[in-house]
């Protein structure tokens, strides 16, 4: 890791939230804007991003961002760099739960996640967004994070990725663990720890956070918590400028890796 000179600034803090045109990402972006951040709403569909930015108001801007497309990621970096020159906060929220055809029932989706029968193409597609997309965006945004004094990275994960929790025979979610979505969050947790360990000595904090079982498009809106409730812990971690690094938390506190 090269030694980068940090930029001392008293300007408005700048944040990027990926997958922020709806759901948890939208709530995080809204809360950050209300706290005085300049917020970039990363959205694969720019029109959807513009709609979300218009609804939130404040200093909120849509940013076309497909986390699986290197060229688009580089373009997003350039836009933020040209406008501000630094980035205080990166929230890696964009994720998908499955890659099958539209309109499948929850039962069909569940059957497609099993390790013995899951489509390798489906696994690759989900991991491309949930794991490799996070690595790609984080690596690309690091030069901007270096220039902020309180840089943080927050990865929106899931308790379903906790191997400690899921390996407990009494865990209620044990039977739902599969190699498509859940295992992608396990991998994301490992990615989080790898970045946290590497960047700790450079004063960039990296944490993973689970919203809990929230009703979003990710689970066909079958979650038990509202997005307002589910976004509380991600918002808390995102706004915590003086907090720890290398943590994994959820609505009820610390989660086991």
Per-residue pLDDT reduced to its tens digit, 37-86: 999 999 999 999 999 999 999 899 999 999 999 999 999 999 999 999 99
pLDDT at 100: 67
The tokens of 26 are what?
Answer: 């939208």
CA distances from 100 to 87, 110, 115, 206, 220 (A): 35, 11, 15, 31, 13
Which pLDDT score, from 0 to 100, does residue 11 have? Answer: 77
Task: Supply the CATH number for residue 28's domain.
Answer: 3.40.50.720
**What residue has token string 């309109």?**
103
Quote the strand ranges of 33-191, DSSP E.
38-43, 60-64, 89-92, 152-156
Contact criterion met (CB below 8 Å) for 243 and 196: no
- Look at residue 236 and tell me if it is in a domain: yes
On whether residue 170 sits in a domain, the answer given is yes
Strands 253-254 and 248-250, how do they pair?
antiparallel
Give the Cβ contact number of residue 40 at 10 Å: 29
Evaluate whether residue 2 is within a structural domain.
no
In terms of pTM, does the model score above 0.75?
A: yes
Question: Whole-angstrom Cα distance, residue 171 to residue 257?
Answer: 14
* DSSP conformation class of 9: -
Alpha-carbon 153 to chain mean position: 9
- Calpha distance 119→191 (Å, rounded): 23
Task: Tell me how many domains the chain contains.
Answer: 1
Tell me which residues of the chain have a pLDDT lower than 70: 1-10, 100-106, 109, 213-225
Query: Beta-strand (E) ranges in 28-117?
Result: 38-43, 60-64, 89-92
* 8 part of a folded domain: no
Distance, in Å, from the CA atom of 199 to the CA atom of 177, rounded to the nearest integer, reads: 30
Domain of 218?
Answer: 14-254
Do the domain assignments include residue 149?
A: yes
Whether 52 maps to a domain, the answer reads: yes
Strands 60-64 and 14-17: unpaired
> Is 203 a domain residue?
yes
179 falls within a domain: yes
- Structure confidence at residue 106 (pLDDT): 67
Residue 28: CB atoms within 10 A of its CB come to 30
Six-digit token string for 62: 């849509």
């Amino acid at each position: 890791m090269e030694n980068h000179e940090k930029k001392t600034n008293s300007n408005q803090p700048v944040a990027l939230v990926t997958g922020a045109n709806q759901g948890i990402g939208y709530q995080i972006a809204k809360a950050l804007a209300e706290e005085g951040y300049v917020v970039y709403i990363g959205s694969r569909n720019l029109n959807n991003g513009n709609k979300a930015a218009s609804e939130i108001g404040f200093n909120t801007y849509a940013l076309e961002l497909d986390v699986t497309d290197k060229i688009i990621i580089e373009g997003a970096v350039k836009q933020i760099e040209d406008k501000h020159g630094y980035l205080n906060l990166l929230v890696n929220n964009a994720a998908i739960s499955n890659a099958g055809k539209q309109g499948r029932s929850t039962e069909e989706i569940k059957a497609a996640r099993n390790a013995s029968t899951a489509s390798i193409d489906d696994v690759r597609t989900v991991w491309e967004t949930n794991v490799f997309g996070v690595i790609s965006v984080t690596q690309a945004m690091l030069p901007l994070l270096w220039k902020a004094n309180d840089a943080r990275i927050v990865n929106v994960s899931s308790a379903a990725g906790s191997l400690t929790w899921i390996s407990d025979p009494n865990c209620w979610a044990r039977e739902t663990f599969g190699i498509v979505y859940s295992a992608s969050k396990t991998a994301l947790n490992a990615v989080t720890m790898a970045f946290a360990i590497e960047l700790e000595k450079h004063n960039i904090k990296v944490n993973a956070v689970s919203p809990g079982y929230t009703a979003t498009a990710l689970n066909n809106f079958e979650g038990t918590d509202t997005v307002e409730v589910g976004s509380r812990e991600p918002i808390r971690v995102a706004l915590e400028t003086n907090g720890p690094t290398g943590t994994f938390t959820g609505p009820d506190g610390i989660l086991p890796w």
